[in-house]
A and B are shown apart, each in its own frame.
Chain A
Amino acid sequence: MTDSRNQAVPAGEPMLDRRDERVAHAATFGDTIRAFLDRIRSGDLGMLPVIIGLIIIWTVFSILNPVFLTPNNLVNLLFDSSTVGIISLGIVCMLMVGEIDLSVGSVSGVASAILGVLWVNHGVPAGFAILAAVAFGALVGFIYAQLYNRFGMPSFVVTLAGLLTFLGLQLWLLGSTGSINLPYGSPLVRFGQLLVMPAAVSVILAALPGVLMLYTGFRTAARRKAAGLSSQSSAAIVTRAVAVTVVAEIVVAYLNQGRGVPWMFGLFVGLVFAMQYALTRTRWGRSMFAVGGNREAARRAGINVRMIYTSAFVACSTLAAFGGVMAASRLASSSQQAGTGDVNLNAIAAAVIGGTSLFGGRGSAYSALLGIIVIQSISSGLTLLDLSSSLRYMITGGVLAIAVIVDSLARRSRVSHGRA
């Protein structure tokens, strides 16, 4: 029964997945657009709200202060986005299984403290210090998972306890001085503050997604055709790849007018792609979606649900710790303030604003990327307008509230349209 007869469908017969005449299949370009609009209307919003939000925010801020859209301001924005964005990527994992981690800020703070204490105070090589900080994050996630799996503690309680505990640990590690300066000129600090890609490298990297889309697109189409399934037309594949490449190259060309594309942002985007691949193309990712969608069904399908929760907790805390290391390199210091304030909420808000559902089983790694750019844009724009952080907090809070409302409404609409 496990053989897979891949023979093509005999000529004249409709393709395997086109035998139900009730289904309108998108045949022309117009049909594709119409199918897309139908999906939006039914509440399957995907990344649309965040893209619209981004356009509005950028328009408003560039009208209020033309500096906002200058290449160098955007380069700075990308530097700032990368650190919290990496943390937010972990939050995406937690939201995917329908849980939350409120302690990512504290964990990132402890990680930056570990880095400072080991590297600067004890002379441990930077690489080992980073490794220790990240390993600490993994350990924290593992402990959370044990508490969650064995004692059934709700994740928000476990991680709320962690938030306080690790804030305390951070203060204790840094001791009376309260802050450790990382050596200027060291590769780590240069990575966090200065290093940008050479223009040629950035242009090549920006072309990579399009090339990959072409390659996988044509390969999949050929395999589907051979298996007797409908496949995307070559025109559609090429159009999408060209559109993505053009957008990416325009962005890169614009940034290259200023300082250029930060390596740290490149690292962040690389992590986003890796996470997206893991979530959509591996069994682990499929299990994450299943556990978030229907935990009991996932268990009955033989999925090791506890292990999936453990992997989500560990991924989240590990990425939080790594984000903390990056934040330390960005600020060239490990301070008592690292990871406090709005880091926690920004990381969570970014994932939600980007379209990952708080209700579990729905989302993507791209939401961390788009969401953090929205949040940093607001923050950067308000700073340029010389507005105090009090107003910044309130506005970010408002945006988060809007994102959650959109998520809830979209979910209700999906349920009524059978797309839950």
Chain B
Amino acid sequence: MEEFLRIAEITIPLLMQGLVVTIEISVLAIIFSIIVGFLICCMCLSKNKLVEAIARVYIKIFRCTPFMVQVYLAYYGLPSLGLKVSAFWIGVAVMSAYNAAYIAVIFESGIRSIPKGQSEAAAAIGMGYFKTLFRILLPQTVGVIIPPLTGQFLQTVKDTSILSIITVTELTMMTKKAIGVTFAPLFVYLLAGALYWVINIGIEMVTKKIEKKNKLLSI
């Protein structure tokens, strides 16, 4: 029992430190990836073929190469371009760029699933592109895109663990550190796993709420 208390005393502060960083990165990456993903989606829907092509290439690059390779490339590549950025922000940037590709596809398929008559009825009263997007199309996609978006957000949180390879002091990194001191891998990993689980359950609860609120409105 005393031994257990000693392990917990060392482990818990370390993991809490990591937990905070993991949450910070996750939240920032989710926000940025929604913004960038939405812009990429708009580019995919553009009538301008060049604009669309740029977006398609972006999606191809980020979806078809391993996340870990992207992380290493940014970690070693950005400094060689003369950019001095901390590992934390490199992590946020790569996570955002990577997830944006997936989120763009989710947004796009959601918008394309709305019958054409919906935007035509908006056009017929003289509504412009952005109003049609934000007032007519997007509200109707919420029911369709929330489940896949939720999945993507859960994946984002789990993928933050990969950032330990570039020295970001997130939860997995701190877990390894705690094991190095306590030599109790089973207990420490269990605790780390539980913490990831709690974050993701939290995300699921939030998105469920948004979905429910919208179900009353959309078909």
Query: Do A and B come from the same complex?
Result: no
Using a CB–CB cutoff of 8 Å, the interface residues on chain B facing chain A are: none
